[in-house]
Structure 1
Amino acid sequence: MIDRRALLTAGAATSLLRYTPASAQPADWAQIERAAKAEREVVVYNTGVGLHRDVAGAFEARTGIKVNFLDMHASELRERVRIEQSAGRFVTDICLNGSTGSIVMDQLGQFQPHGGLPNEANLLDAFRDNGTRISIFQNIFGFMINTRLVPLSEEPKSFADLLHPRFKGKILADDPRASGEGYATFAVTYDKLGVGFQQQLAKQELVFTRNLLEGAQRVARGEYAVYFPQKFSDYLLLKPLPVKFIWPTEGSPYQTFMLAMARNAPHPNAARLLMNFFLDPAGQAFYARSGRGVTVRGALDDVPAEIRDALSAKLLGTADAAREAEFLKLAKDIYGA
């Protein structure tokens, strides 16, 4: 298992040794800022949630550059970019996606190097970027239960507990058969807990959704007893309702979200400026306060203790991008096409 607290501490110590790339020195950056403001806007294809708009709003207030979002599922984002680029239509500047999808798109040649960012110096050592993709936060997953449907004595404490007959037909889950949070959790639990766990879970007659926000709300309304994978950050928004977040005893799957500049981005300077802002303390503060794992030094310093301690929970692992096709096929084999 991964000790997140140790990871953050070690990263803070080693990241002081970083250097700022020559292409991102302040003298050069002033020229990029002027060019970015002349471009006036930046387009982001996004698979995340509304919080990115809060970061973008702060960016707009600082720079005067408009950020235009188009939201979609992870599998849709990759295909949309493929179709547009194949047709010679270069619409988006930045793709904001999970690490698995981002790595695959990078391998497919759908991105271009960002050219260096001053705030790369803030990155924890575990989240070094490769010159193209930058890690901006982590979603950490557990379960969410409706406390009116699941009494204290019957709460699932582990993935294994989800196999109890009492939960048959009562679990709503993000669909693991397409890239996204459900897939990421499937890949980690298949790898760590084995095929037997997934085969037994399939017998629980899970109901799948691809609407992440609505899924959690349906459990809060009492349509289902359990939702997973549930992001801790989204749970915090639902706390006044009859819901409870469960950290699985085996550890929590997690998914790192990344930004990358699309190939032939129409507003490359504005894109570069926005990517840099996501690593700025002002940008990272939105993620830290919302209950997401962060990727830069000092981002948790001013976060309430409840959230800081929760983000130190044991981690189970993250999906291996190189095995995406393998795990998607396995998910379809187990749960049906």
Structure 2
Amino acid sequence: MDWKRLAYCGIASLIGLPPIAQAANIDELVTAAKAEGQLTVIAVSHDWCGYGALIQGFKDKYGLTVNELNPNAGSGEELATIKANMDNKGPQAPDVIDIGLVFGPTAKQDDLLQPYKVQTWNEIPGVVKDPDGYWYGDYYGVLAFIVNKDIVTKSPSDWSDLLDPAYRKSVSIPADPRTANNAILSIYAAGLATGAQPGAEAAKAGLAFYRKLKDAGNLVAGFGTASSIAKGETPITTRWDFNGITYNQNFKGNPPLDTLVPTSVTVAGVYAQAISKYAPHPNAAKLWMEYLYSDEGQSGFLKGLCHPIRFDAMRKSGKITDEMMAKLPQTGSNLVFPELGHLVEASDVIAKEWTTTVGAGSK
């Protein structure tokens, strides 16, 4: 795959620690983080990208408590949580966020983030990071159809198949497109599949496609969560490939799931890390970043069936082996890595027009 230091905020001084800008000395950062004693994360479900094992590994390695908020929050909800807790140093204020790439510039523009560059900064591709270190990509997944085989006998192979009358009351959007990265990219990919140009045009075409699904009676009102898929309430949904494989493992064949990459076009969804400007535990937040972007952390994402953002550098250096590669989902040759500018355009259109154009699934 060819992917086309600022000072610490000063809270450390309140607990008698020297301010830490960049982690030139990891030992000093560890000491400062341990003095804070805790890290608060949000929107990191244990079955998402290997986060369960990553959180446990971080706790075991550094002895910090990890406070976990709203594991199923969408990216927009994460930003709202920072805004709601600007003056709160208690357990409801997140230190770090894991957001869809398109939400990084928004969070920076809203002055919600503080910059920090990890030691492996140079191995993060430039197109998926803010040059000043306010946010940076950490992994990506590939958009796929997740199908409950107890309900759907013949799985769809491409976007146009979803309009088949056989899928009446069967197709869902994965989450609220006004706030959730996977839903935004579902609409965007559907638009690209119509032949629309990247950016706002693809967003509008995707909205029109989902309107057709609704008019045909194929689009259901609920969102495609793991629970609703298992219950048969949303037999076909779009989610990341790693979601489908993990769900299938967790369900243990009850129900059996298909995870299928659309044949014409699909998209890679890059997620990004960032530290809240108002983080109650800024040193713990920086240590978490160092952990996630280390070989250990990036390999943890790989074990969670996600493609780590340092993939190219780690593959080149032999840290990602052929054996490890064989366990990853197969992405095919139709994968598009959307440009950030196009995603910003598309997400703006989708957020403004989803309810009036489609409306289904808006709770």
Same fold per TM (> 0.5)? yes
| C-alpha distance in structure 1 between counterparts of 2:223 and 2:75, whole Å | 10
Match of 2:212 among 179, 196, 200: 200
Structure 2 CA distance, aligned partners of 1:176 and 1:251? 22
Contact residue 252 and residue 313 of structure 1 kept, 8 A = no
Structure 1 pair 73/285, CA: closer, same or farther in 2 (3 Å)? Answer: same
1:232 aligns with 2:246: no
Q: Structure 1 residues 307, 24: CA separation in 2 closer, same or farther (over 3 Å shift)?
A: same
Do residues 77 (structure 1) and 78 (structure 2) align?
A: yes
Partner of 2:141: 139
CA RMSD of aligned residues (A): 2.7
Cα distance in 1, alignment partners of residues 333 and 227 from structure 2: 26
CA distance in 1 between counterparts of 2:94 and 2:160 reads 42
Could you tell me which amino acid in structure 1 is paired with residue 334 of structure 2?
K
Q: Which amino acid aligns with 2:292?
A: F
Q: May I ask how many residue pairs the two structures share in their alignment?
A: 310
**Partner of 1:174: helix, strand, or coil?**
coil
* Structure 1 segment 257-276 matched on structure 2, within 5 A: 257-276=271-290
Q: In the aligned structure 1, how far is the partner of 2:323 from the partner of 2:349?
A: 39
Other-structure match for 1:89: 88
The question of whether the paired residues in 1 share the 8 Å contact of 2:45 and 2:52 is answered with no
TM-score for the superposition, normalised by structure 1: 0.81
Alignment map for 1:314-333 (pairs within 5 Å): 314-318=334-338, 320-333=343-356
Q: Contact 1:112/1:263 (CA < 8 Å) preserved in 2?
A: yes
Provide the C-alpha distance between the structure 1 equivalents of 2:107 and 2:239, rounded to a whole number of angstroms: 25
* Aligned residue runs from structure 1 range 251-262, under 5 A: 251-262=265-276
State the one-letter code of the partner of 2:171.
I
Query: Once the 2 structures are TM-superposed, how far is the Cα of residue 263 of structure 1 from its aligned partner?
Result: 0.9
The aligned runs of 1:287-302 (5 Å cut-off) are 287-296=301-310, 297-298=313-314, 300-301=320-321
Q: Distance in 2 between matches of 1:283 and 1:112?
A: 21
Aligned match of 2:226 in 210, 213, 219? 213
Change (3 A) 1:225 1:80: closer
Q: Which residue of 1 aligns with 2:17?
A: none
Residue 58 of structure 2 aligns with an amino acid whose one-letter code is F
Give deviations 1:73-132, integer Å, cap 9, x for gaps. 3332222221222xx224221112222233322221111112x21122442455444311
Match of 1:100 among 99, 102, 123: 102
The structure 1 residue matched to 2:38, chosen from 41, 48, 66, is 41
Corresponding residue SS for 2:102: helix
Which deviates the most, 100-109 or 197-206? 197-206
In structure 2, stretches of 5+ residues that fail to align are 5-20, 197-204
SS of 2:157's equivalent in the other structure is coil
Give the structure with the larger helix fraction. Answer: 1
2:330 aligned residue: 310
**CA-CA distance at 1:303 after TM superposition:** 4.7
Structure 2 residue aligned with 1:18: none
> Post-superposition shift, 1:70?
0.4
Q: Which runs of 5+ in 1 are unaligned?
A: 1-5, 12-22
Shift of 1:255: 1.8
Change in CA separation of 1:212 and 1:189 when aligned onto 2, cut-off 3 Å? same
8 Å contact kept, 1:170–1:224: yes
**Larger strand share, 1 or 2:** 1
Aligned-partner Cα distance in 2 for 1:48–1:330: 29
Q: Could you give the per-residue CA deviations for residues 239-258 of structure 1, whole angstroms, max 9, x where no partner exists? A: 54222111101222232111
CA offsets per residue over residues 112-170 of structure 1, 9 Å max, x none?
112x211224424554443111211112211022334333xx43111011111111212
What secondary structure is seen at the aligned counterpart in 1 of 2:85?
A: helix
2:195 maps to 1:183: no
- CA deviation profile, 1:4-59 (whole Å, cap 9, x unmatched): xx33xx68xxxxxxxxxxx6464x43322221121111111225554323212111
Q: Report the TM-score, using the length of structure 2 for normalisation.
A: 0.76
